[in-house]
Every structure is written in C-alpha cells, then in structure tokens.
C-alpha cells in the first residue's frame, strides 16, 4: 500500500516571520497520517529546519547544484542542504527547465548527486500545452523519465518520488482532469516497470502537480495511479494546505 505524499513548494515566497507563522499553523492544526513535506526558499531553510525538528513535517529544498563545492556563484550544494537538516530536494521542476534551461542531462546529474548524499528526490516531469496539443505528451514524459533516471539503480529508486506536472496547469488555475492525469501517471508507472520491475513500479509514489486545491484534491487522489500532490499556491496558506494534507482524514 503506497502512503500518500503531499508536498508544498513555496517557490519564491515568504520572509522568516511569515515562514514560522505558516509552519506553526501546520504543526498545531494539521495531522500527519500522510507523508507531508514543505520546500521553502533557500533563505528560509535554517529557520524552518529549527521549527520542524523532531516533528513529522519533512523539510525539502526546491533545487540544488550539480556540484558539491567550488566556483559556482549563486549555487547551493547538497552538502549545504544536508548541513541545514534538509531531507529531500525537488529536481527538474518545469520552471527550472523552461526558465533556467535545465536539460534532462542536468536533472540526471543532480539526481545522482542528491542520492549520493542520501537526500530523497522529488523528480518532476511534464509536458507543455503545445506538446500536449500535438499529441506528444506521453512521448515527452517517457523521454524525461528515461533520461532523468539514466544509470539510477533499482535500489536507488526507493529514494525517488516522481511528480507529474503538466506545465500548462502550473499557476494557471487550469488542472488536468483526474482522468488525464491518471493516464500519464499510468504511463510513468509502466515505464518504470520496463526500466526496473513490476515491484518497483508498484511501490513508486507518483505525485500530481498543477493547481491542486482543496476542491479538487479528493477527486485527483481517488485515481489508481495518483499517490500524492506537489502543491504550489495552495501550500502558502494553512487554510488551503491542511485540507490537502488531510484529504483522507
């Protein structure tokens, strides 16, 4: 039985006081039957790390460098993340791919480095609106999975969650229908079965990301291959993130 995994990606939002206020509300008013993660900006990691220490709330980072150290101005290494108590990192987010030019090969390098340093990975894949309208959604997603997981072992897959996030549904208010989302999740699971085994595919947690809200989370989570959510805007307020965390309470 796969345990539901709800992750809140705060993106470039919040000051330290705002972050503390949100985390306090989540811890005081939320429950953790499901696996729950928050991923603040780099500047808030230490503050949030101190606040969640000893709780069930997992601390994630939104990105990391391809290198452990050195002359990489503006970058953050996995060693720095580990030093702050970070447990997981989001890699391959569509905004990193589309705005900052991260390729499948760059994402693959980051996945290898994160796993080397015992960080769990939320590995993001997803197609653009143009690719979907051209009928290429499945091909694009399969290609991202194949290249992103190049030389990743079956054992290492135990530390990887895949997040399907159709680019056209992120921050737009549009959401893939539960049926459309589940279809792509099924494609991902079949690809993992071909790459590894049915057991690994069955155990894999696949999150959906793209305008997840309290009003649609139950329907999305009701689908056979949707095991969690990677939440953006709705993760920024306790009153919208807690109902998502507790969709099955």
The string of pLDDT tens digits covering residues 38-88 is 999 999 999 999 999 999 999 999 999 999 999 999 999 999 999 999 999
Phi, psi of 6, rounded to the nearest 5 degrees: -110, 120
pLDDT at 89 over 90: yes
β-pair partners for 61: 89
CATH code assigned at 201: 3.20.20.70
Which pLDDT score is estimated for 133? Answer: 86
Helices of type H across the chain: 16-29, 45-52, 78-83, 94-100, 104-116, 129-133, 137-148, 178-195, 198-203, 217-221, 238-245
Work out how many domains the chain is built from and give that number. Answer: 1
Residue 178 structure tokens: 């539960």
What pTM does this model have?
Answer: 0.96
Mean pLDDT score across all residues of the chain: 96
Range of the domain at 121: 5-245
Residues with a catalytic annotation lie at 93, 165
Residues 227 and 207: beta-carbon distance below 8 Å: yes
Residues 132 and 82: beta-carbon distance below 8 Å: no
Average pLDDT over residues 121-144: 94
The string of pLDDT tens digits covering residues 152-187 is 999 999 999 999 999 877 767 777 789 999 999 999
Question: Using N-to-C axis directions, what is the helix angle for 16-29 and 45-52, rounded to 10°?
Answer: 20
Which pLDDT score is estimated for 168? Answer: 78
Rounded CA separation 188/204 (Å):
10
Q: How far is CA 17 from the centre of its chain?
A: 24
Rounded CA separation 165/226 (Å):
12
Rounded CA separation 84/127 (Å):
33
Residue 201 structure tokens: 């595919």
Which pLDDT score is estimated for 224? Answer: 96
Rounded CA separation 12/210 (Å):
17
Average pLDDT over residues 109-127: 98
Rounded CA separation 87/56 (Å):
12
End-to-end CA distance of the chain: 17
Average pLDDT over residues 117-136: 94
Which pLDDT score is estimated for 189? Answer: 98
């Amino acid at each position: 039985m796969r345990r539901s995994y709800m992750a809140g990606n705060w993106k470039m939002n919040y000051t330290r006081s705002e972050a503390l206020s949100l985390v306090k509300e989540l811890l005081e008013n939320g429950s953790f039957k499901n696996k729950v993660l928050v991923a603040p900006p780099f500047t808030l990691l230490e503050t949030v790390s101190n606040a969640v220490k000893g709780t069930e709330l997992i601390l994630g980072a939104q990105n990391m460098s391809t290198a452990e150290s050195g002359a990489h101005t503006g970058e953050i290494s996995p060693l720095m993340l580990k030093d702050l108590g970070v447990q997981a990192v989001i890699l391959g987010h569509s905004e990193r791919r589309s705005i900052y030019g991260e390729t499948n090969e760059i994402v693959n390098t980051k996945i290898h480095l994160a796993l080397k340093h015992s960080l769990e990975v939320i590995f993001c894949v997803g197609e653009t609106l143009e690719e979907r309208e051209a009928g290429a959604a499945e091909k694009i997603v399969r290609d991202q999975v194949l290249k992103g997981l190049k030389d990743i072992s079956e054992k290492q897959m135990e530390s990887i969650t895949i997040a399907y996030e159709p680019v056209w549904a992120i921050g737009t208010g549009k959401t893939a229908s539960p049926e459309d989302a589940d279809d792509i999740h099924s494609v991902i699971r079949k690809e993992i079965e071909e790459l590894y085994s049915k057991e690994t595919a069955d155990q894999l947690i696949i999150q959906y990301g793209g305008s997840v809200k309290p009003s649609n989370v139950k329907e999305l989570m009701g689908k056979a291959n949707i095991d969690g959510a990677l939440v953006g805007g709705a993760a920024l307020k306790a009153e919208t993130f807690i109902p998502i965390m507790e969709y099955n309470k």
